[in-house]
Amino acid sequence: MSGGASESSSAAFCTELVRNHDFENYASTLFAPLRCRRALLALYAFNVEIAKVREQITQPLPGEIRLQWWADMLAGAGHGGVEGNPVAAELLLAVRDHGLPVERLSRLIEAHQFDLYNDPMPHMMALEQYLCDTSCALFSLAARVVGHETDAMDHLAHHAGLAHGIAQVIARLGFDASRRQSFVPLQLLEQHGVDPEKMFAGQDTPALRAALRALAEDARSHLKNAMAMLPDVPPDSRTVYLSLAMVRRALNAQARADNDPFMPRPASRLRILWTLWRASRARPCRG
């Protein structure tokens, strides 16, 4: 296979991976500048590979080995070439072409080691640090691909990542509880009198709802800050943040009285496309 055909195949693989496992970010790339889409899809495909490790293992050790492979690959240590891994090949190309900081990508991998164990998230500070290294980093790296990196952009990525990440913690409660895992900070659960065993058993209680409301309120605060900053960034960079429209939708759904916190309600692909298109036409993104 020629080099050009191989590169085309790797790019197509990343596109399908993101489209199938992270349609929200896939849809956002449809609004991004054409020159950036390949690198954005490589970045999002890498994130899919790292985030889904927790779903593919039943014991921590195999997960540690998979994450270590990615860390070694970024460090250029061992494992030979990356020709057999299209996501790795595309990610390295994005790193080279857009100057993505390897250190941030490595921290993202390291942060996801927490996913492999059943240790509870101890407090809000720990959750925010986890999200800073994962969700916030992804927004920051994507903004760099589009071509803009400033202190203001990092500040925006921070608030956007916390809002998006907290919304995901709430949305994935049922999945995490089924694994006896809690990303909802233990300190917050204790403050509201939540019995972790009832939560792990999937019991919807007033105490749990109160804790989730407090968590959602924190997400709304970060979302409000992010949306206020959005008009001040270059138009191309705003496309990176279109998924914030889905955060608003998820938080509104969570607040409904008939919402079951253990029952995921994923949006259809059509709904995602429609929501992101409307967001792209709204004032914060149009300027």
The DSSP secondary-structure symbol of 32 reads S
Categorize the per-residue pLDDT at 2 as very low, low, confident or very high, splitting at 50, 70 and 90.
very low
**For the segment 68-124, what is each residue's pLDDT rounded down to a tens digit?**
999 999 998 655 566 689 999 999 999 999 999 999 999 999 999 999 998 999 999
Is pTM, for the whole model, over 0.85? yes
Residue that is last in its domain, among 94, 117, 140? 117
Residues 112 and 136 in one domain: no
Residue that is last in its domain, among 117, 147, 169? 117
The DSSP secondary-structure symbol of 232 reads G
Give the chain's domain count: 2
Q: What is the pLDDT of residue 1?
A: 42
Residues 123 and 112 in one domain: no
Q: Using CA atoms, how far apart are residues 172 and 218, in angstroms rounded to an integer?
A: 17
Residues 35 and 135 in one domain: no
**For the segment 9-50, what is each residue's pLDDT rounded down to a tens digit?**
999 999 999 999 999 999 999 999 999 999 999 999 999 999
Residue 284 has pLDDT above 80, yes or no: no
Residues 11 and 100 in one domain: yes
**For the segment 178-233, what is each residue's pLDDT rounded down to a tens digit?**
999 999 999 999 999 999 999 999 999 999 999 999 999 999 999 999 999 999 88
Residues 276 and 139 in one domain: yes
CATH of the domain at 167: 1.10.600.10
Q: What is the pLDDT of residue 118?
A: 87
Centroid of chain to Cα 267: 16
82 phi and psi angles, rounded to 5 deg? -115, 15
Domain boundaries, position 78: 1-117
149 phi and psi angles, rounded to 5 deg? -140, 110
Residues 94 and 142 in one domain: no
Residues 139 and 266 in one domain: yes
Residue that is last in its domain, among 117, 146, 163? 117
Q: What is the pLDDT of residue 204?
A: 95
Residues 33 and 143 in one domain: no
Lowest mean pLDDT among 37-46, 71-80, 139-148, 236-245: 71-80
Q: What is the pLDDT of residue 147?
A: 81
CA distances, 174 to each of 178, 208, 231, 262, 266 (Å): 6, 12, 35, 4, 13
